[in-house]
C-alpha cells in the first residue's frame, strides 16, 4: 500500500542529485532527475488524486546545509511526505577540500533535522534514501567505506523514525554486478545519467508502495 495518500504534497530534499537543474522560478519544473521521473510516473498513474510534487534540493548541500534551511524549505512547505537524499557531499567535500561532515556529526545533525520536522509536522511520512557512489569518475579510495558508514546511519535513523528506506547503493551495486559498467549509471561516479535517475525513480516508487507506477 502506498504511503502517498490522495491530495498529498511530496517534498524531495537533498543535494545536486535531487536538484538536477530544478527551476527556482517555476516550481512545477522539478529538474531532470529522479523527482521529475517520479512526478511523471506517479502523476500519470494517479492523475485524479491531486498529488503535488515539490523539489527543494540544492547542489553542493551537506547535512548541515539542509538543516540550516529547515524552516524555509521544509517545515514552511507543510509536506505530507518528505524524501531525503543527502550524504555524498559530506564525504566528497572532506576528500576534496577538508570541508566535509564527519559521520558522527552527520548522524547527530540528521537526527536533529528529523526530530524537529516531525515535531512541527506530526504525521509526516519519511522516505530516507541511501547516499551512494559508483566506482568511476571522481570517486577515489576511501569514499565507499565512508559512504557505507553513512548508509548505516540512514538505516538506523529510518528505524527510529518509522521511515521507508530506499537502498540506492544496493540497487546500483546490483546493476553493476549484472554486467553494466558503473559509468553507465553515473559518469562521474556521483551524478546519475538519465538511465541512473530513471532506475532510482522506479526503485523509489516500489519502496513507497507505488507498485504500478514503478512498472511504467
- Predicted confidence (pLDDT) at residue 95 exceeds the cutoff of 90: no
pLDDT of residue 214: 83
Long-range CB contacts for residues 116-121, cutoff 8 Å, separation at least 24: 116/70, 116/75, 117/70, 117/74, 117/75, 117/82, 118/161, 120/75, 121/75, 121/78, 121/79
pLDDT of residue 97: 83
- pTM for this model (two decimals): 0.96
List the catalytic residues.
16, 188, 191
- For 164, 166, 205, the CA distances from 169, given in Å and listed in that order, are 15, 9, 16
Assigned C-alpha cell, 210: 507505488
pLDDT of residue 96: 81
CATH 3.90.1150.10 fits 9-214, yes or no: no
Tell me what the mean pLDDT of segment 24-51 comes to. Answer: 96
pLDDT-derived band at 192 (thresholds 50, 70, 90) equals very high
pLDDT-derived band at 174 (thresholds 50, 70, 90) equals very high
- Predicted confidence (pLDDT) at residue 152 exceeds the cutoff of 80: yes
List the end-to-end C-alpha distance of the chain, in Å, as a whole number: 17
The pLDDT tens digits for 68-87 are: 999 999 999 999 999 999 99
Query: Minimal CA–CA distance to 9: which of 82, 79, 84?
Result: 79
Tell me what the mean pLDDT of segment 3-29 comes to. Answer: 96
The pLDDT tens digits for 101-140 are: 999 999 999 999 999 999 999 999 999 999 999 999 999 9
pLDDT of residue 212: 75
Specify the range with the lowest mean pLDDT, choosing from 55-59, 96-100, 115-119, 206-210: 96-100
**Distance from C-alpha of 188 to C-alpha of 19, rounded to nearest angstrom:** 17
Amino acid at each position: 500500500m502506498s504511503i502517498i495518500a490522495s491530495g498529498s504534497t511530496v517534498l524531495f530534499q537533498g543535494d545536486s542529485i535531487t536538484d538536477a537543474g530544478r527551476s527556482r522560478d517555476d516550481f512545477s519544473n522539478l529538474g531532470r532527475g529522479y523527482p521529475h521521473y517520479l512526478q511523471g510516473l506517479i502523476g500519470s498513474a494517479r492523475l485524479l488524486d491531486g498529488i503535488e510534487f515539490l523539489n527543494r534540493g540544492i547542489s553542493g548541500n551537506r547535512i548541515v546545509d539542509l538543516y540550516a534551511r529547515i524552516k524555509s524549505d521544509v517545515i514552511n512547505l507543510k509536506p505530507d511526505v518528505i524524501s531525503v537524499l543527502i550524504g555524498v557531499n559530506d564525504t566528497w567535500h572532506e576528500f576534496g577540500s577538508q570541508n566535509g561532515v564527519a559521520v558522527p556529526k552527520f548522524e547527530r545533525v540528521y537526527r536533529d533535522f528529523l526530530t524537529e520536522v516531525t515535531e512541527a509536522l506530526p504525521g509526516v511520512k519519511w522516505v530516507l534514501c541511501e547516499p551512494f557512489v559508483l566506482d568511476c569518475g571522481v570517486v577515489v579510495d576511501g569514499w565507499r567505506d565512508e559512504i557505507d558508514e553513512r548508509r548505516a546511519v540512514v538505516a538506523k535513523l529510518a528505524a527510529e523514525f518509522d521511515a521507508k528506506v530506499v537502498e540506492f547503493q544496493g540497487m546500483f551495486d546490483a546493476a553493476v554486478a549484472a554486467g553494466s559498467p558503473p559509468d553507465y549509471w553515473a559518469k562521474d561516479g556521483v551524478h546519475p545519467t538519465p538511465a541512473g535517475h530513471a532506475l532510482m525513480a522506479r526503485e523509489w516508487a516500489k519502496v513507497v508502495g507505488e507498485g504500478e507506477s514503478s512498472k511504467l
